[in-house]
Structure 1
């Protein structure tokens, strides 16, 4: 409807003279697929993934795609998105992967999933790092057909392997901040925790939002006390101070 209304405003058409919304949508989808490269057909998506697949000789800033599986010819296999054949595709560049090459105790690896970046609302997991200046640096994007432990584990395994291929060293991680999601937590422990002493962190905003949601039915004084205790806990300087406060 936004495109339909935009045409009316831009070209000053009377609504009665406009074609049906379905006709406009069909034209836009055809133009996007034919001229802009936008398509959610599996064959077209696989062709795009193969076209931009990692080769090893890319310029540092050139983006590439990568998957966990490949066929006999070395072409990446993205999967069809079914339960038995998961769709997981990663996107990054050598320059972005270099951001992981830093002191493991001086940065936090962030994992965050959103549904608002793809036409078919597939989850997109954003992976990045934050430094001591609270600056966030993107490392890679992963488009997945579902948010299950298997999908997250495959994405993280892809990240580890691609980092090793580019940097010629193993990925070293200490602190990981993910969504309040059990599937993500299990995937982090099973993939990154194999040879890393992982400290799992939870986003303060997610915790605060959950606390607010579940205290709306209690007395205001009690809800305010819970929120204050949460904020005080968040500002504690160390786990030792937390144990002492408890």
Structure 2
């Protein structure tokens, strides 16, 4: 009801384009005023809003100067997350959320509305993030730790865009790891599947990189000794 009564303007491309341009980043906005931005602009500097085809991607970013400024800190002091949800709109278009994790609390940095989840769309969204951050702060975006899911297209986009001038450490959300583990151990005897889950949890709670490598090596050695787990050990190594 609220969407129909108060929002509107989301059914036609011209209406959406008008809203994006109405709130487009100009540089003079107050810190807490919402801004929109795209990767492409026309000859007048107005954002180009694609129609969602493969050749005319629809990727629109939404943020504010205040939200962007949360990334202006020592890159080793936070983890940047990206995640995609389909549950914030009636038609379930993918909405990519960029979040910074600073001393445990989560801080939303930007939202990206996309019509597809291809490597091209992820690359464009992250390039937009990097450019708008520089436009707001007059600084280069510095990222050390980055967390996402196991999507290969997403990982390639992260390396291509944020890996430039940054020594990235790519992390994977433990929830996604646990989901993958469950999926690939359903055909394994319960006791052995439980053993794998425990070993992976031990890796997750390692106190250092060296401790993680030690636990990982021990676990892989143990798995490879058991015929029922050799295939999983091979999968885990490739992952």
Common fold by TM > 0.5: yes
Tell me which residue corresponds to 2:46: 75
Tell me which residue corresponds to 2:234: none
Alignment of 1:113-124 (within 5 A): 113-124=84-95
1:179 equivalenced with 2:149 (yes/no) = yes
Tell me which residue corresponds to 2:19: 48
Other structure's SS at 1:79 match: coil
1:236 equivalenced with 2:206 (yes/no) = yes
Instruction: Tell me how far 1:217 sits from its aligned partner.
Output: 2.2
1:214 equivalenced with 2:184 (yes/no) = yes
The total of aligned residue pairs comes to 216
**Inter-partner Cα distance in structure 1 for 2:94 and 2:118:** 10
**Inter-partner Cα distance in structure 1 for 2:37 and 2:10:** 19
Runs (5+) with no aligned partner, structure 1: 1-27
Write the deviation string for residues 172-229 of structure 1: whole angstroms up to 9, x where unpaired: 0000001110011000000000110000000001111121122222211001101100
Picking from 104, 110, 127, the partner of 2:98 is 127
Structure-2-length-normalised TM-score: 0.87
Write the deviation string for residues 65-117 of structure 1: whole angstroms up to 9, x where unpaired: 00010111111012000011100000000000000011100100000011122
Determine which structure has more spread, i.e. the larger CA radius of gyration.
1
Instruction: Tell me how far 1:38 sits from its aligned partner.
Output: 4.4
**Inter-partner Cα distance in structure 2 for 1:162 and 1:139:** 11
Bigger mean CA deviation after superposition, 118-127 or 51-60: 118-127
**Inter-partner Cα distance in structure 2 for 1:118 and 1:76:** 23
Tell me which residue corresponds to 1:32: 4
1:111 equivalenced with 2:82 (yes/no) = yes
**Inter-partner Cα distance in structure 2 for 1:243 and 1:205:** 20
Other structure's SS at 1:69 match: coil
Tell me which residue corresponds to 2:220: none
Picking from 111, 122, 130, the partner of 1:160 is 130
Alignment of 1:3-18 (within 5 A): none
Structure-1-length-normalised TM-score: 0.84
**Inter-partner Cα distance in structure 1 for 2:87 and 2:197:** 30
**8 A contact 1:32–1:39 mirrored in 2:** no
Other structure's SS at 1:141 match: strand
Computed over aligned residues only, the root mean square deviation of the Cα atoms, in angstroms, reads: 1.6
Instruction: Tell me how far 1:63 sits from its aligned partner.
Output: 0.5
Instruction: Tell me how far 1:37 sits from its aligned partner.
Output: 2.3
**Inter-partner Cα distance in structure 2 for 1:113 and 1:40:** 22
Instruction: Tell me how far 1:237 sits from its aligned partner.
Output: 1.5
Instruction: Tell me how far 1:121 sits from its aligned partner.
Output: 2.0
**Inter-partner Cα distance in structure 2 for 1:159 and 1:229:** 37
1:96 equivalenced with 2:67 (yes/no) = yes
Other structure's SS at 2:77 match: coil
**8 A contact 1:113–1:125 mirrored in 2:** yes
**Inter-partner Cα distance in structure 2 for 1:150 and 1:115:** 19
Other structure's SS at 1:47 match: helix
Bigger mean CA deviation after superposition, 85-94 or 39-48: 39-48
**Inter-partner Cα distance in structure 2 for 1:75 and 1:203:** 37
Bigger mean CA deviation after superposition, 35-44 or 91-100: 35-44
**Inter-partner Cα distance in structure 2 for 1:211 and 1:36:** 42
